[in-house]
Amino acid sequence: MKPKNLVPLQIRKLRPELVALTRRLRWWRLRLPTVTLQEITGWPAPRSHPEPILDGICMPPYTSSSLDDFDSLMSIVQWLQPTTVLELGTARGNTVANICRLMPSAHVYSVDAPTEKLSGKLTTYQLKEEQIGSVYRKYGYGDRVTQILENTLCLDLSSYFSGPVLDLGIVDACHDAEFVINDFLKVQPFVRHGGVVLLHDTHPSMGRHYHGSYRACMLLRHQGHDIRYLAGTSWALWINGWPSPGTRTPH
């Protein structure tokens, strides 16, 4: 005898997959081209780096996903050798702490909004002021970070930068498409030639929390911004002046 509710349960389980598939089909024409880490850095494999600071880490492969966001990020950082970094969406500051450790001369501008200033849906966390950046402070990097406690919708980066000085921008705040578009367009004018913007939680599966940022990147690309998907990760990236594959050297 057929068990009761079997069909509805199966459909319920399949629903997220079906939603993601529908999104992919609807947006197929605008999907991002893929670039590999090797094409960017010219290195055959990700560079080794010290064991990461794990406090408050929220990046694959240290979360449930098998993607390799953390090692790819650290390789790009080693290749770029940034001195000025901006991260939108810092949370407890794990990524900032790991960048400060890897790049002893880097200064990081960190933007995150405490709960009362947050808006949007895909915000990941709701943190109190004292929780934001607690990891980089714990590891002694507080004096290398300019902390900006602001909603990125209200952010005016011209108060901090007078021109294109950023080597690396990381967009990892609210993942609703309109926020990601706002964030990219605010960061882009301040990126130096050869500098990079990385956009997190951007994956062509468009499942779960990946759809807002991926959709934003497709729309930005459609407007003429050459944003590409980084293979094997949930990063998309834009380089100010893309080189021919394999020909780039760090500055």
Q: Which amino acid is at 48?
A: S
Cis before residue 8, ω within 30 degrees of 0?
no
Instruction: Give, in order, the Cα–Cα distances in Å from 225 to each of 130, 207, 216, 219.
Output: 36, 23, 11, 9
How far is 187 from 76, CA to CA, in rounded Å?
A: 18
Query: Closest by alpha carbon to 69, among 230, 246, 251, 243?
Result: 230
Q: What is the nearest approach in angstroms of ligand SAM to the Cβ of residue 87?
A: 6
Closest CB to ligand SAM among 37 and 108? 108
What DSSP state is assigned to residue 47?
Answer: P
Q: Check binding of 103 to ligand SAM (CB under 6 A).
A: no
List all residues 6 or more positions away from 8 whose beta carbon is below 8 Å from its beta carbon: none
What mask, x for binding ligand SAM by CB under 6 A, covers residues 209 to 248? Answer: ----------------------------------------
Residues 109-148 that bind ligand SAM (CB under 6 A): 111-113, 118, 120, 123-125, 127
DSSP string, 156-170: -GGGT-SSS-EEEEE
Q: Check binding of 195 to ligand SAM (CB under 6 A).
A: no
**Interface with ligand SAM by CB under 6 A: which range of 75-83, 91-99, 136-144, 188-196?**
91-99
Q: Check binding of 90 to ligand SAM (CB under 6 A).
A: yes
**Interface with ligand SAM by CB under 6 A: which range of 24-32, 137-145, 166-174, 227-235?**
166-174
Q: Which residues bind ligand SAM (CB under 6 A)?
A: 58-59, 87, 89-91, 94-95, 111-113, 118, 120, 123-125, 127, 151-153, 172-174, 179
